[in-house]
Amino acid sequence: MAEQKRDYYEVLGVDRSADDAALKKAYRVLAKKYHPDMNPGDKEAEKKFKEASEAYAVLSDPDKRRQYDQFGHAAFEQGGGGGGFGGFDFSSADFSDMFGDIFGDLFGGGRSRRSSNGPMKGANVRTSVRITFDEAVKGCTKEIELNIKEECKTCNGTGAKPGTKPETCPKCGGKGQVVMTSQSLFGMVRNIQTCPDCHGTGKIIREKCPDCHGSGFIPMRKKFAMDIPAGIDNGQAIRKSGLGEPGVNGGQRGDVLVEVIVASHPIFQRQDYDIFSAVPVSFAVAALGGDVVVDTIDGKVIYSVKAGTQTDTRVRLRGKGVPYLQSPQNRGDHYVTLVVQTPEKLSSEAQELLRKFDAATGDSLHDADRATTGEEKPTKGKKKKKLF
């Protein structure tokens, strides 16, 4: 006794009122889960994959779905109640379109297996340009030199020898596509592929142009100006439209993508749109307060250091950072780390003055002596104790 088929809606796990999008979504999930390539050697998975594909093939077709809703599986059986349908042979079904929609993201192919000889945009060309830190912050114009394919003047871009012209491809009849048949789980499956003889152009060049060798283009070295906007960062790219590889069958040219390589700066470091640097501050300025000179991308500015400033204190100069790419009128900030410098060489007079200063501010020069003799003065709130 033949195994009874499950309801197609039950197979896909959808309601009988499900629309095309719901059907496709449900089938996509099942197809990914049970596809034989994902479950090698698993007969049960193969069976469920075929069952789901059969259900989707019927329910995704408006006429077949109407017949199924009225007569059930009998609509596709020989002599069934469907009458006029007279049976549905899945072994002869063309699943190529369905596979293109459903499996495109699963196998990386899908509709890419189908091609046409219509206009196609040319490939993009990538190059790079080196600029300084200041040029990246303020913007600049650089000259870029590239090998660009230009239309061959001998054949006017046809690729054919002067006096001849391209012929219609006999293999595909000028369509640029051929139908390939292969065996699958469902029987014979038709796939539409690029014609191997004309490579999708629909034309065959019998006698090639001696200058461009049939390509229709001549490589030429060209220079062009590239405007680099203020605020661009290392590794970002600028697009120059219409200067890339030539298009196919009348398609527009590709683009040129120029990657920007920004040189490091001896003083500044960048993070997003903010700039960071360090400024040395003398001990006297840190203790008493005073002005220091700070280098910024806009030039030197004066910053007033507060009295009692400690080393590694960070201050912010608002609006002295990098301009925003999308809104150059707005800028990031410049963060400056103040580093208190200790004098390395002092005169005898300076040393004596420093000793007097220390004696007046806590006598730190004799802290160790007091600690070793047990005479250290206790801090407020703590008991006096001997260390040695």
What residues have CB less than 8 Å from 314, skipping those under 6 apart? 335, 336, 337, 338
CA–CA distances in Å: residue 280 to residues 310, 330, 333 = 12, 29, 20
27 and 97 in one domain? Answer: yes
Tell me what pLDDT residue 179 has: 82
- pLDDT at 343 > cutoff 80: yes
Q: What is the pLDDT, as a whole number, of residue 365?
A: 78
Give bridge partners of residue 281 from the DSSP assignment. 340
Same domain flag for 12 and 87: yes
- 337 and 360, same domain (yes or no): no
Residue type, 349: E
Q: Is residue 182 part of a domain?
A: no
Establish if 305 belongs to a structural domain.
Answer: yes
**Average model confidence (pLDDT) for the chain?**
81
Same domain, 379 and 334: no
**Count of C-beta atoms within a 10 Å radius of residue 36:** 15
Would 302 be classed as within a structural domain?
Answer: yes
Task: Using DSSP bridges, classify how beta strands 140-151 and 217-228 pair: parallel, antiparallel or unpaired.
Answer: antiparallel
Does 30 fall in a domain?
Answer: yes
d(CA 273, CA 302): 22
Q: Is the pLDDT assigned to residue 94 strictly greater than 50?
A: no
- HEC letters along the chain: CCCCCCCHHHHHCCCCCCCHHHHHHHHHHHHHHHCCCCCCCCHHHHHHHHHHHHHHHHHCCHHHHHHHHHHHHHHHCCCCCCHHHCCCCHHHCCCHHHHHHHCHHHHCCHHHHCCCCCCECCCCEEEEEEECHHHHHHCEEEEEEEEEEEECCCCCCCCECCCCCCEECCCCCCCCEEEEEEEECCEEEEEEEECCCCCCCCEECCCECCCCCCCCEEEEEEEEEEEECCCCCCCCEEEECCCCCCCECCCCCCCEEEEEEECCCCCCEEECCEEEEEEEEEHHHHHHCEEEEEEECCEEEEEEECCCCCCCEEEEECCCCCECCCCCCCECCEEEEEEEECCCCCCHHHHHHHHHHHHHCCCHHHHHHHHHCCCCCCCCCCCCCCCC
Residues 6+ apart with CB under 8 A from 112: 104
Question: By residue range, what is the domain housing residue 52?
Answer: 8-113
Q: Are residues 49 and 105 in the same domain?
A: yes
Residue 337 within a domain? yes
Residues 317 and 371 in one domain: no
In terms of Cα–Cα distance, which of 42, 52, 44 is closest to 102?
Answer: 52
The amino acid present at 40, given as its one-letter code, is P
* Integer Cα distance of 342 and 280 in angstroms: 10
Which comes out higher in pLDDT, residue 199 or 184?
199
Question: Looking at the domain assignment, is residue 164 inside a domain?
Answer: no
Question: Comparing 45-54, 153-162, 239-248, 379-388, which segment has the lowest mean pLDDT?
Answer: 379-388
Most confident of 203-217, 280-294, 364-378: 280-294
Give the pLDDT confidence score for residue 84 in this predicted structure: 40
Q: What is the CATH number of the domain that holds 304?
A: 2.60.260.20
Is residue 36 within 8 Å of residue 49, measured between CB atoms?
Answer: yes
Which of the given ranges, 86-95, 209-218, 278-287, 348-357, has the highest pLDDT on average? 278-287
99, 119, 118: which is closest to 109 by C-alpha?
A: 99
If asked whether residues 287 and 364 sit together in one domain, one would say no
Is 337 in contact with 280 (CB distance < 8 Å)? no
Q: Give 110-165 pLDDT, tens digit per residue.
A: 444 444 556 778 888 889 999 999 999 999 999 998 888 888 888 888 888 898 88
**Is residue 193 situated within a structural domain?**
no
Least confident of 65-79, 84-98, 126-140, 214-228: 84-98
Same domain? For 309 and 363 the reply is no
Q: Which of 159-173, 179-193, 285-299 has the lowest mean pLDDT?
A: 179-193
Q: Quick: pLDDT tens for 250-263.
A: 788 888 899 999 99
| Percent residues over pLDDT 90 in the chain | 28
Instruction: Look at residue 371 and tell me whether its pLDDT is greater than 80.
Output: no
The CATH number for 104's domain is 1.10.287.110
Domain count, the chain: 3
Q: Where does a domain end: 96, 113, 130?
A: 113
For residues 15 and 53, membership in a common domain is answered with yes
Winning range, highest mean pLDDT, from 105-119, 125-139, 175-189, 374-388: 125-139
CB 232 within 8 A of CB 147: no
Choose the weakest-confidence range: 7-11, 81-85, 301-305.
81-85
All residues at 6 or more sequence positions from 311 whose CB lies less than 8 Å from its CB, including other chains:
281, 286, 338, 339, 340
- Among 113, 147, 180, identify where a domain stops: 113
pLDDT digits (tens, 9 = 90+) for 280-299: 999 889 988 999 999 999 99
Residues 293 and 300: their CA atoms lie apart, in Å, by 6
Pair 12, 103 in one domain: yes
In a domain, 279, yes or no: yes
Lowest mean pLDDT among 59-63, 107-111, 201-205, 356-360: 107-111
Full-model pTM: 0.56
Instruction: Give residue 71's pLDDT band: very low, low, confident or very high (50, 70, 90).
Output: confident
Position 187 scores a pLDDT of 60
Are residues 376 and 322 part of one domain?
A: no
Q: Are residues 311 and 280 in the same domain?
A: yes
Rounded mean pLDDT, 75-88: 49
